[in-house]
Amino acid sequence: MKQLRITIIVLVLLGGVLHSSGSLFITPIHSLDLAIYDRLITSYPREFDTSDVVILDIDEASLAKPELGRWPWSRNVLVELFELLFDKYEIKVLGLDIVLAEADTSSGLPVLEQLAEGPLAEDIAFTSLLEKIGPSLDYDGLFEELLMSYPISLGYYFSFSEGNPAGGLPIATIFSDEREAAQWFPRAVSFGSNLERFSDSATVAGHFNPLVETDGIIRRVPLFVDYEDDLYETLSLAMLRLSVGLDKDPDAIELPVLSAVDVGAEGVAYRIGDSNIELPLDLEGAIYVPFRGGAGAIEYFSVADVVDGRVDPEQLRGKHVIVGTTAPGLLDLRATPFSPIYPGVEIHATLLAAMLEPGNALLRVPYWKQLADYGGLVTLGILSLFVLPGLSPTALIIALASGVAGLIGAARFLWLDGVYVAIGTLFVAFLLLMLSQLVLGFLEEYRKKKQFTDLFGQYVPPELVKKMAEDPSRYSMAGRRLQMTVLFSDVRGFTSISEQLAPSELSEFINLYLTTMTQVIRDAGGTLDKYIGDAIMAFWGAPIDAEDHAERGVVAAIKMIEALDGLGKVCVERGWPAISIGIGINTGDMSVGDMGSKLRKAYTVMGDAVNLGARLEGLTRQYGVWTIVSEFTIAECPRVRFRELDKVLVKGKEQPVIIYEPVALESDLDDDAKRELERWDRLLEGYRGQKFEQVKDSLDGMAVDFGNRPLYDWLRGACDEYLANPPPKDWNGVTKFTTK
């Protein structure tokens, strides 16, 4: 039952960590976060001044006005309307939550030009008149002049599914070589924009893409959209930069640059030029829309009322105006936490108003939220292991109610301070762990009444039980003889290390080392046999079959050596002695099964092949290498490159064995390493041919070219020994060892 409790805790905590980190999307947690956010925003709407932003509404009354015509309105109508806004009403900045994607031919100019080039080409009076009045009939040209004369931001949209780009994309706000790599933004594959001539003429343009959540509701807007690695700003940001630029020089727009700033625990924000405006982003590069309530929190003015002069100029003077629509037929109604029918234009207007608010009214999403999740999950795990099992059902229910109230209270407290922290991960983890404790409490009582021992639970290492339990009929604890691979590793000079460390430090040292190496072996699918002091014994091929058991063992050895780099840094930081290890690997027939006495048994391997693996580990010191494998192992490792070391006759063996050092996977081997191995092979051939002086000279050259290695010292020493005591002419190149 304890194992079940731990399993539940691990699964719950692992799920929470993966969801919080973004590695795993758990829909119930995400849906709960959305529901909590909606409850907070509707119960405690954001409070800030929106008087600087208004919406010019293309409503039903405006569409019905004969003077304006059918939608889309002619460009000359828009020119007159926008000039009216700037010249009479003296607005500050204008943003368009509409797309002008098609050329305006309503003046008939294209037809007149065709006549002037065709049937009426010789009619001087006609062509002269057309030349005179033509510019006034070029409505798109008039609109271009308007864009170059006033602070206007165009609007456009991106597509995140397949599609063909339409219109002209404005210049990017941040180019790929300027962007902050740590920020991730939605990546678009296409766009729908204004006529290219308009995009080229406008000072700025901003996208009006919101982020639509899985439930179809809009809560956030991406500050930028990533298109072909460049970043394009949202409409509200484009208007904000226009406004700040006008503040610096009312007669000339000077767009401020954006710069990413670290705002500590609150994450990353973008600063607008040298102003004090900072735009905090969440982990997906988006800003939460700080809704002030339902539709109408931003003041609306009908286009029809503006055109007819029913709006007092003071109501618009100096304002930031966004042109959008509430007319259902123009399809710009969205779903928000406040209403399933909400004007899309008000989303951007609300965001702009919050950006303009002194002190900034935007919600902050702290980056420490992930750390809080991790810390909370660890705390829950500790409580579930050591505290909750001892509580009565009544106490557990009280703790459950108190924890839920505490989480909700903390979320509310932070919200009122302008910080939004999603508590769904901790909420769900807490609920599941508490409920599981209640259930396990009853199951524990049931288990005590039933004495049942699971055979594999007693003998097989815990890390293999879960996989074996998937098909228990395939496995048996009975002894078998199989071809397998065994690995022995040992810390060199461990006695000296143990004498240099205090008992508590030695315990910490060996725990860190064994944990790291065991994890490498587990990742390679190995079975951990036992620890023998500082030594590790593991094998591959049982109880779970693995045809590539030899290669798994060799790759594990390579990874163990790589892991020493990280361990070495820890040792330096803590003032511990450096770690050096030796590894021996052999492949062959072995007996595997449940072995031991009546008092204690273990699932282990035995046999001559096992003994050879242990002997090879001991030889690593002799040759100055990390790892030695036998010829029987390398035959099963086609993806690994080895260096032949020697032919040896170890104690207890009658036949010599060729031994090798694994260098790296073939795919990871660089050209220098390949050249060094080729030269080493030639040296070894010369050594066995008793060309000892020549080998020594070549070793000196290799030491210069590739750096001296302990292995070179071994071969140099062997050559010196044979020069002093020459071997017989029929010497077979075998090195004999008389000790283990």
pLDDT for 446: 47
Does residue 603 contact residue 477 with C-beta atoms inside 8 Å? yes
Q: What is the mean pLDDT of the chain?
A: 85
Q: What is the pTM of this model?
A: 0.57
Q: Residue 472: inside a domain, yes or no? A: no
Q: Pairing mode, if any, of strands 211-212 and 218-222?
A: antiparallel
Asked, for residue 592, whether it belongs to a domain, the answer is yes
Residue 737 belongs to some domain of the structure:
no
Q: Indicate whether 459 belongs to any domain.
A: no
pLDDT at 628 > cutoff 90: yes
Same domain for 157 and 59: yes
**Domain boundary residue, one of 291, 325, 355:** 355
Which residue blocks in 478-535 are alpha helix, DSSP H?
A: 494-500, 503-523
pLDDT tens per residue across span 274-295: 888 888 888 788 899 999 888 8
Cβ 56 vs Cβ 322: under 8 Å: yes
Q: How confident is the model at residue 250 (pLDDT cuts 50, 70, 90)?
A: low
pLDDT in tens, 517-548: 998 998 888 888 888 888 999 999 888 788 89
pLDDT of residue 740: 62
**CB distance 26 to 12 below 8 Å:** no
Residue 595 DSSP SS3: strand
Among 46-60, 94-108, 128-142, 353-367, name the one with the lowest average pLDDT: 128-142
Structure tokens at 559: 């990874």
Q: What is the reported pLDDT for 455?
A: 46
Same domain, yes or no: 380 and 351: no
Cα–Cα nearest to 363, from 257, 292, 276, 264 = 292
- Per-residue model confidence (pLDDT) at position 221: 94
326 and 405 both lie in a single domain: no
CB 94 within 8 A of CB 79: no
Q: What's the pLDDT tens digit per position in 414-459?
A: 888 888 888 888 888 888 888 888 777 666 654 543 332 244 444 3
Question: In what helix (H) or strand (E) does residue 602 lie, and over which residues does it extend?
Answer: strand 601-606
Give me the amino acid identity at 692. F
**Which of 292-301, 442-451, 549-558, 698-707 has the weakest average pLDDT?**
442-451
Instruction: Note whether 328 and 372 are same-domain residues.
Output: no
For residues 562-579, give the mean pLDDT.
90
- The dihedral formed by the CA atoms of 456, 462, 463 and 466, expressed in degrees to the nearest 10: 50
Q: What is the pLDDT of residue 183?
A: 61
Q: Which is more confident, 214 or 110?
A: 214
- Say if residues 361 and 246 touch (Cβ distance below 8 Å): no
Average pLDDT over residues 325-353: 86
Q: Which of 300, 324, 355 is the last residue of a domain?
A: 355
Lowest mean pLDDT among 21-35, 50-64, 299-313, 611-625: 21-35
Mean pLDDT of 502-507: 90
Place of tokens 């109408």: 296
Residue 266 has a pLDDT of 54
Of 669, 692, 721, the residue that ends a domain is 669
The answer to whether residue 347 is domain-embedded is yes
**Does the pLDDT at position 501 exceed 50?**
yes
pLDDT in tens, 118-132: 677 676 766 666 666
Structure tokens at 495: 């006695």
pLDDT (0 to 100) of residue 587: 94
* Residue-wise DSSP of 243-276: HHHHHH-TTS--PPPEEEEE-GGG-EEEEETTSS
User: 63 and 21, same structural domain?
Assistant: no
Supply the pLDDT for residue 188: 93
Same domain (yes/no): 142, 272: yes
What digits encode the pLDDT tens for the residues 367-383? Answer: 777 888 888 888 888 88
User: If we measure between CA atoms, which residue out of 512, 558, 538, 658 comes closest to residue 604?
Assistant: 538
- Same domain? 237 vs 339: yes
Distance CA 471, CA 254 (A): 71
DSSP 622-662: HHT-SEEEEHHHHTT-TTEEEEEEEEEE-TT-SS-EEEEEE
pLDDT at 330 over 80: no
Closest CA to 553 of 593, 605, 596, 601: 605
Q: Is the pLDDT of residue 557 over 60?
A: yes
Range with lowest mean pLDDT among 104-118, 176-190, 596-610: 104-118
Residue 467 inside a domain? The answer is no
Domain that holds residue 378: 2-45+365-449
561 in any annotated domain: yes
Mean pLDDT of 662-689: 90
Instruction: Report the alpha-carbon distance of residue 636 to residue 75 in Å, rounded.
Output: 76
Average pLDDT over residues 679-694: 91
Rounded CA gap, 111 and 108, in Å?
Answer: 5
CA 264/CA 394 separation, integer angstroms: 42
Quote the pLDDT of residue 359. Answer: 67
Both 662 and 678 in one domain: the answer is no
Residues forming beta bridges with residue 232, ordered by sequence position = 225
pLDDT at 739: 67
Q: Residue 169 in 3-state DSSP? A: coil
**Angle subtended at Cα 49 by Cα 46 and Cα 55, rounded to the nearest 5 degrees:** 100
Cβ atoms within 10 A of the Cβ of 624, count? 15
**Residue position matching structure tokens 């006034």:** 136
Whether residues 542 and 426 share a domain: the answer is: no
Residue 313 per-residue DSSP state: G
pLDDT score for 527 = 86
Query: Which residue type, as a one-letter code, is found at position 46?
Result: R
- What lies within 8 Å, CB to CB, of 454 at 6+ separation is none
* Confidence at residue 115, expressed as pLDDT on a 0 to 100 scale: 66
In the predicted structure, residue 470 carries a pLDDT above the cut 90: no
Residues 402 and 529 in one domain: no
Q: What is the pLDDT of residue 164?
A: 87
**Is residue 312 within 8 Å of residue 88, measured between CB atoms?**
no
Same domain? For 665 and 678 the reply is no
* Total domains, the chain: 4
Say if residue 460's pLDDT is above 50.
no
Please confirm whether the linkage preceding 638 is cis (ω < 30° from 0).
Answer: no
Query: Residue 679 burial (CB < 10 Å; 0-12/13-18/19+)?
Result: middle
Q: What is the spatial distance between Cα 228 and Cα 210, in angstroms, rounded to a whole number?
A: 19
Convert the pLDDT of each residue in 175-234 to its tens digit.
Answer: 887 776 556 788 999 999 999 999 999 999 999 999 888 888 999 999 999 999 899 999
- On the CB side of 210, CA atoms within 13 Å amount to 26
Do 664 and 689 reside in the same domain of the chain?
no
pLDDT at residue number 278: 84
Q: What pLDDT is recorded for position 457?
A: 44
458 occurs within a structural domain: no
C-alpha distances out from residue 278 to 223, 258, 275, 355, 361, Å: 12, 10, 8, 8, 10
